[in-house]
Structure 1
Amino acid sequence: MNLVNLESVSHAFGPKALLTGVSLGVEAGERIGVVGRNGGGKTTLVSIIAGELTPDSGRVTHTRNLRVGVLAQRDLFDPDAPIRDIVLGEKAEHEWAGDAQVREILANLLGDLDLSAHAGALSGGERRRTALAKLLIGDHDLIVLDEPTNHLDIEAIAWLAGHLSARKSALLVVTHDRWFLDAVSTRTWEVIDGGVERYEGGYAAFVLAKAERARIAQAAEDRRQNLMRKEIAWLRRGPPARTSKPKFRINAAEALIADVPPARETVELLRFATARLGKTVYDLENVTLHAGGPNTGPLVLDHCTWQFGPGDRIGLIGVNGSGKSTVLRLLSGTVTPDEGKLVQGRTVKLAHLSQELAELDPTRRVLETVEEIRKYITVGKKEWTASQLLERLGFKGEAQWKVVGDLSGGERRRLQLLRLIMDEPNVLLLDEPTNDLDIETLTELEDLLDGWPGTLVVVSHDRYFLERVSDRTVALLGDGRLSMLPGGVDEYLERRAAGTAVSARAASAEPVAAVETPAEKKVSQKELRELQKELSRLERQLDKLSEREAKVHAQMAEAASDFEKLGKLDAELRDLGAQKEATELEWMELAERIGE
């Protein structure tokens, strides 16, 4: 049970933002060490959690009747008050003297002090120990300590660590004493750059985990670079229509991706998928299916026979209303065919992401909703935690602690998609999975699906995503069949434009917009020769400019300490860049004219 919850908390001191959108919780019995740079917001954070400071924005909730004890950095006592009254209050002597815990606290923190002495006579260290003794004698659900070891000797620190570890109350402690952190903390929070990074264990575990996070961050950056190279590689290997780019661009891309492997290890994935699924996934046998139910609504399939095999990655396309979602519902078992039979493999473990958002518990936190499915999953040859996968799909840092009820529609869709993947299905049906996803998240999703072994059927209007994650394209062309299109989306568009199939929209009395094919530009043979000569001249000019650029870069490296020469070379480099851009534009205009 969480004693305290912070949701999107932000706070600034003057112009400096100390906390920005922090969401976290303190659980009962949890012992948390708080670390970070001086002035970075540690005291601000614990003061907000303790309820002593109201944040500029966000929400802080405490459980009902929560008892919080706070040791602040400054101890404000009445100088005329006796130590006994400050520490023990109005307790009678027989009452506190008969309590073994109270006697232990007094002996270890105030054993060398006269309890009848006035607070005004105490030194800084004595005042600190007095405040700590007062706090520890009380009953608290949560103890918040800001630099408790200041002015304590080694013995007192060791005693305090043992005492706090034995208490049942939750603990939040800010200290620079690394030994103390290791001795009392079960978790460590690092306040850094306006956020809070959470680690399991005390200081030693924190150092190791931080080093590991740095390594993972570098690996993530390396992976991001590889993703970019893979994207370029995929673009280069795609259909010719997608790669009709200037030759000098293509050559540069080929040099970049010379050692890049295919986007997916198709043979390896097929082997895994077959092992998990066997030979049969879905067999449609003479199936007739209508979109609105038995013999109701538009006809989707008319005595159709089809097989979905292990490891198939199929993009299902068709106009709106053609029945794509109905086919997915047929495969998921939500609807049954009017006629014929659907045979499902006995080992099929299905996950279906529909366009409707299923209900999630609005009071749960994002990470909890994923971890309740599974905490770890293996994708391809790598094991991922729920938190790592959430980060890949855009739930970074504090976002994993958001309440589900506060998520946007796009965030909920991402969360549901991840929950499906975490359940380790071997058949995945995705109906418009890209809705509300940004480009960065889409790229991560594509890369995640690259290593997923199983049968995948995707319905999407996002052509890039569809072509990126699927290996085969199947279309509903309004003729009651599932049509394989070897040429992919390009072939689908050509067939639609040529009118070789009955339009599903026409079948439902919806008007179909006419598709006009552009008139071919006619260039005479003489003009063509002249244009090609000019094109060759521009290509030679681009090669020379590229060579000059390389030389200028080398000269700049040699003149690293000569600022005057660097300035001249930098100006020349900018001028070369402008020349290249103008030449490239001219090249592209000519290439379009001659149809290259």
Structure 2
Amino acid sequence: MAHLLGLESVGVVRGARPVLAGVSLGLDDGARVGVLGRNGAGKSTLLALLDGTLAPDEGRVTRAGGTRVVTVGQSDTLPGGTVREVVHPAAADHEWASQAHVREIHAGLLADVGLDAEVSALSGGQRRRVALARALTQDAEVLVLDEPTNHLDVEGVDWLARHLQGRFGRGRGALVVVTHDRWFLDAVCTRIWDVVAGHDGPGGRAPVPGRVEAYDGGYAAYVLARAERERRAAAAADKRANLLRKELAWLRRGAPARTSKPKFRLDAAAELIADEPPPRDRLELTRMATTRLGKDVLDLEDASLTYPTDDGEHTVLDHVTWRLAPGERVGLIGVNGAGKTTLLRLLAGSLEPTGGRVRRGKTVRVRTLSQEAKELDAVAHRRVVEAVEEVRARVEVGGKELTAAQLTERLGFTRERAWTPVRDLSGGERRRLQLLRLLVDEPNVLLLDEPTNDLDTDTLAAVEDLLDSWPGTLVVVSHDRYLLERVTDHQLALLGDGKLRDLPGGVEEYLRLRREDEASAAPGGSGAQAPGPEDGGAVSGDVTASGPSPAERRAAKKEMARVERQLEKAAARVAQLHEQLADASAAGDVDALARLTRETREAEDVHAELEEQWLYAAEAAG
């Protein structure tokens, strides 16, 4: 494969502190690289080295002749003018409209954005899509994207992943992307660059500069490789290694249902996860939550919400009934403007419905993690530990009593950063502090609105670990598919029609429903109506009346357990036959090879059929 870009022993210094040192990386034609690292580790510095906006203090950056690099940063800095002028500067309409791949980009990113609209008048999400469209329509060998999924909904992330998969193959350029969206990393990237932050030298010695470690595969393969690397390294931090093993245990146990996950060899991780308990004991979780909350939590009863617009009225909810159970963990997805944040405000009590009612249990204590961290403005002058102690000095987590200082360390604050004024924190640090202050207030119902904003993958793993041991009721609004699968048990959707729909098939079912709606709405479409009760849709907006009944869910879980036992036996049989095949091949026994090949094929067919049965049962179990 042709070489496009390279870093040779590159180092970058800021003041007297080395940010990166000894970085040697190569970017070849067809590469799709994901860049990970904690906030402040040097990810943006690495991107600036690649696109040529920063010169290294040592080493050199090599670039093949004629290689053009296009970058989309986080700030979405765009020139003035209309959308048409920004996306296609100095190009006549017939020049770009005649190209199929450009029309595809318009359909995927700009369907609801008028080409004659002024960019300055667009929303943040629309500006993000315009910036992406501007970059994707350019003829460049290397595309560099910094947090491209910010402000995109689930559909937008899905479209972008599919587009990048198809675009960057062998001979078609290379992609470098910084993102905390782990589903996106698995779907798009074939290699990971992990930027490891530098730190102060021990005993007052010179600072240790940051470095970049390279891994093959997407996020799931990266978790495995990194866990094994850290296990072998004597100096690996025990706390981070434990989080990685827990993450790996979840990946292993969810393998049959998560069909989009890369098929890396999980058996190599058996030693790592053999003694790791399940990430969440649902029966224990439900019992604890019921004790704290009582029978009633939050109920929407025939609730409607409309508000006036210039064109009349907009209906957010239309006679919706939804009952949240103690310990329930729900993911909420939907189109932009469908009312996800509005629904959280109804549950929190900061907004009342225009019809029906919201009934709250007497012992319910609701707290909301908003998309903005404005509530921290009141404690901007305080230090991080003091901002936590203001809410509560000590709290019990997972059966252990922790101080505010211990909690801040658990959520990724070093001792130095824990005593930093809140006003001086980065966006990711403010987000972590915002969540921590909510948790120490000991709510029993937690509403999270896009909780992954500004968080790196290590911090996300720590947050998810904390939520695993949290016993209350959880409602999460997020476009992060990995997070939804990780911390919630089932998902619901707002499709913009005022109804709340159960999704037994999760995000994939939501995307299928959206594609069907778009196809029926398009000219020449079938005009088919939205799915009704028989295909898992909501009945008169009542989520409790859709999907499997509790008895059906229990039966499906028993079926899952039965099939899992058969799967283990089938997998063992396949492994045994593969060993026998190897022995027969080494011995040159042609007859045995023919017989064992036939038996192996039959055993693999049985295993595949059992996996399909498990998947159907998992969907029925919710």
TM-score normalised to the size of structure 2?
0.45
Larger radius of gyration: 1
TM-score normalised to the size of structure 1?
0.47
